[in-house]
């Protein structure tokens, strides 16, 4: 047998083995299996390389083992109610209770009342509130961001951490190694360390050429968590950066929404932060998580949950779809990235078809042309079902908000795309409160008032080349 024949046979065997692996890989829908088999078969050698780089949701065996060890050690989040509480279980009305059971199935946190909350919709004001809370901290400050820039707001937070550490407050700050590489590699990161701030890097890349051998380089920690003194927490879409977002200035301003909570819900975000921190930093935070949360029957009822590659499969899309199927009167969504799987697209269309007033707001100009094209491929079907589509023209609408029936709100870091479903670590808070949801609805209506309406005529008028591009990009979804 000639050398060339041996090479051919060897490559064919490798291609066969990789194809078998793609077919046997768990937690993959049939469309994804078919797409990967086609890629591997149609593009010899290169298809195998692409599969090795992007075909599996893998952060690395050691990181998976470490994450499992940390989660196994985390104490349960118990609730301690006051003796005068008339409703110690903080029950949500029956039509919406199952939503919180779904959230509980993800992270195991209970539904807790006794929270106060304030919605922020201006980036500088959000960061200003965080800085004020850091300046008032007495015991500890915990902070985690996907993107932390060395701009005005990024440095305001860094300086506040340095001041807090100088007066004896324990400060722990973590940032994603890719999204926050500018801050991590800067003199400001070193200055925080020298001031006594404990620093951690999530999902460190190390050598970018060797990283793919140990796990995908594009799996990131997309969470945005701030916890102060066990009682204050922030949850929303905002990164630690200016609205001008200087790394992508032509799409500015970035438009975000964040809710500041005060109450027992902070302990749940504390657990999420601690699980990330202990995975990458050799420090045990379990003792500080052991005290029960004190909850009241009054105030905002809320529940946190975190999703990611090492959390159970389909957790985030299940939450989105549960909200869609639960709504009886109204659904309003804002999201910058919409690349749903088939079941989610069907759920949103089904809501509109059964008479639910359904509106979804996207940015008119997206920072990702690929995601924008994929999103556009779903417009015709959404419009045909009766979904109202708006495109926000006041900047890049980055807010991830979901309200139903004027009483339930979901806010957090997760987008409605496959990256947030399977590849990124995300954190969200589900809440039941008519007043706070009304605040969110007013903000959503402000987005709508600054948006253009997308009609059947507009979509049907797109040229063939545009529709071909949109649909071709959407077809790549199952292989990403």
Domain that holds residue 154: 61-98+108-305
Using the predicted structure, report yes or no on whether residue 400 has a pLDDT greater than 70.
Answer: yes
- Considering the domain architecture, whether residues 20 and 134 belong to the same structural domain is answered as no
- Considering the domain architecture, whether residues 264 and 178 belong to the same structural domain is answered as yes
* Structure tokens that stand for 208 in this block: 């970018």
pLDDT (0 to 100) of residue 308: 93
Q: Which residues are within 8 A (CB) of 52 and not within 5 positions of it... i.e. 6 or more apart? A: 18, 212
- Considering the domain architecture, whether residues 204 and 122 belong to the same structural domain is answered as yes
pLDDT (0 to 100) of residue 320: 98
261 in any annotated domain? yes
Q: Which residue has the tokens 């029960």?
A: 292
Q: Which residues are within 8 A (CB) of 310 and not within 5 positions of it... i.e. 6 or more apart? A: 59, 64, 67, 68, 71
- Considering the domain architecture, whether residues 251 and 127 belong to the same structural domain is answered as yes
Convert 218-261 into a string of H (helix), E (strand) and C (coil): CCCECCCEEEECCCEEEEECCCECCCCCCCCHHHCCEECCEEEE
Minimum mean pLDDT range among 54-68, 333-347, 418-432: 54-68
204 in any annotated domain? yes
- Considering the domain architecture, whether residues 8 and 156 belong to the same structural domain is answered as no
- Considering the domain architecture, whether residues 297 and 319 belong to the same structural domain is answered as no
Distance between CA atoms of residues 446 and 152, nearest Å = 26
Higher pLDDT, 298 or 326: 326
The candidate with the shortest Cα–Cα distance to 392, out of 422, 356, 360, is 360
* pLDDT tens figures, 14-55: 777 878 887 877 776 777 777 778 888 778 778 777 777 777
CATH number at residue 387: 3.30.870.10
Confidence band for 206, pLDDT divided at 50, 70 and 90: confident
- Considering the domain architecture, whether residues 124 and 235 belong to the same structural domain is answered as yes
* Structure tokens that stand for 452 in this block: 């253009």
Q: How far apart are the first and last CA of the chain?
A: 39
Q: Could you tell me whether strands 258-262 and 232-236 are parallel, antiparallel, or unpaired per DSSP bridges? A: antiparallel
Confidence band for 191, pLDDT divided at 50, 70 and 90: very high
* pLDDT tens figures, 359-396: 999 999 999 999 999 999 999 999 999 999 999 999 99
* pLDDT tens figures, 85-136: 444 445 799 999 999 999 999 999 999 999 999 999 999 999 999 999 999 9
pLDDT (0 to 100) of residue 88: 42
- Considering the domain architecture, whether residues 8 and 145 belong to the same structural domain is answered as no
Using the predicted structure, report yes or no on whether residue 331 has a pLDDT greater than 80.
Answer: yes
Distances (CA, A) of 69 to 5, 199, 438, 471: 47, 21, 41, 42
- Considering the domain architecture, whether residues 411 and 291 belong to the same structural domain is answered as no
85 in any annotated domain? yes
Confidence band for 480, pLDDT divided at 50, 70 and 90: low
The residues carrying an active-site annotation are 222, 224, 229, 398, 400, 405
pLDDT (0 to 100) of residue 16: 79
- Considering the domain architecture, whether residues 78 and 204 belong to the same structural domain is answered as yes
Average pLDDT value over all residues in the chain: 90
Minimum mean pLDDT range among 168-172, 310-314, 360-364, 438-442: 310-314
- Considering the domain architecture, whether residues 338 and 412 belong to the same structural domain is answered as yes
Q: Which residues are within 8 A (CB) of 261 and not within 5 positions of it... i.e. 6 or more apart? A: 115, 116, 117, 232, 233, 234, 235, 300, 302, 429
* Structure tokens that stand for 88 in this block: 């110690």
Q: Which residues are within 8 A (CB) of 159 and not within 5 positions of it... i.e. 6 or more apart? A: none
277 in any annotated domain? yes
Distances (CA, A) of 379 to 62, 88, 404, 452, 458: 42, 45, 21, 14, 10
pLDDT (0 to 100) of residue 87: 43
402 in any annotated domain? yes
Using the predicted structure, report yes or no on whether residue 254 has a pLDDT greater than 90.
Answer: yes
103 in any annotated domain? no
- Considering the domain architecture, whether residues 144 and 20 belong to the same structural domain is answered as no
């Amino acid at each position: 047998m000639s050398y060339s024949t041996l090479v051919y046979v060897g490559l064919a065997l490798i291609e066969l083995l990789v194809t078998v692996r793609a077919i046997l890989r768990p937690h993959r829908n049939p469309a994804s299996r078919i797409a990967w088999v086609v890629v591997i078969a149609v593009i010899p050698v290169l298809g195998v390389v692409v599969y090795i780089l992007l075909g599996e949701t893998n952060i690395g065996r050691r990181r998976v083992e470490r994450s499992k060890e940390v989660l196994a050690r985390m104490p349960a989040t118990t609730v301690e109610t006051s003796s005068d509480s008339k409703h110690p279980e903080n029950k949500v009305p029956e039509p919406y209770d199952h939503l919180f059971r779904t959230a509980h199935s993800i992270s195991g946190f209970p539904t807790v009342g006794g929270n106060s909350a304030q919605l922020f919709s201006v980036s500088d004001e959000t960061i200003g509130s965080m800085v004020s809370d850091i300046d008032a901290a007495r015991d500890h400050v915990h902070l985690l961001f996907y993107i932390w820039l060395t701009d005005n707001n990024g440095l305001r937070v860094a300086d506040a951490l340095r001041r807090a550490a100088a007066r004896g407050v324990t400060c722990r700050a973590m940032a994603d190694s890719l999204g926050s590489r500018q801050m991590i590699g800067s003199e400001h990161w070193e200055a925080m360390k020298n001031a006594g701030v404990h620093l951690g890097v999530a999902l460190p890349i190390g050598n970018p050429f060797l990283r793919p051998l140990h796990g995908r380089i594009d799996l990131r920690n997309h969470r945005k968590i701030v916890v102060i003194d066990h009682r204050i927490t922030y949850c929303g879409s905002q990164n630690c950066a200016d609205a001008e977002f200087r790394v992508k200035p032509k799409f500015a301003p970035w438009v975000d929404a964040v809710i500041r909570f005060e109450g027992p819900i902070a302990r749940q975000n504390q657990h999420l932060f601690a699980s990330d921190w202990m995975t990458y930093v050799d420090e045990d935070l379990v003792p500080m998580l052991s005290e029960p949360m004190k909850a009241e029957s009054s105030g905002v009822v809320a529940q946190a949950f975190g999703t990611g590659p090492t959390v159970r499969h389909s957790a985030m899309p299940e939450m989105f779809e549960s909200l869609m199927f639960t709504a009886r009167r109204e659904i309003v969504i804002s999201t910058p990235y919409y690349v749903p799987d088939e079941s989610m697209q069907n759920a949103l269309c089904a809501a509109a078809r059964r008479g639910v007033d359904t509106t979804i707001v996207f940015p008119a100009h997206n920072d990702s042309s690929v995601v924008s094209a994929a999103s556009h491929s779903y417009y015709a079907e959404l419009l045909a079902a009766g979904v109202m589509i708006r495109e926000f023209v006041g900047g890049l609408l980055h807010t991830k908000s979901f309200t139903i029936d004027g009483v339930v709100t979901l806010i957090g870091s997760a987008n409605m795309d496959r990256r947030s479903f399977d590849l990124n670590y995300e954190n969200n808070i589900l809440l039941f409160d008519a007043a706070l949801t009304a605040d969110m609805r007013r903000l959503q209506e402000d987005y709508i008032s600054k948006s253009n309406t997308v009609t059947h005529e507009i979509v049907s008028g797109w040229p063939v080349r545009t529709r071909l591009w949109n649909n071709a990009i959407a077809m790549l979804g199952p292989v990403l």
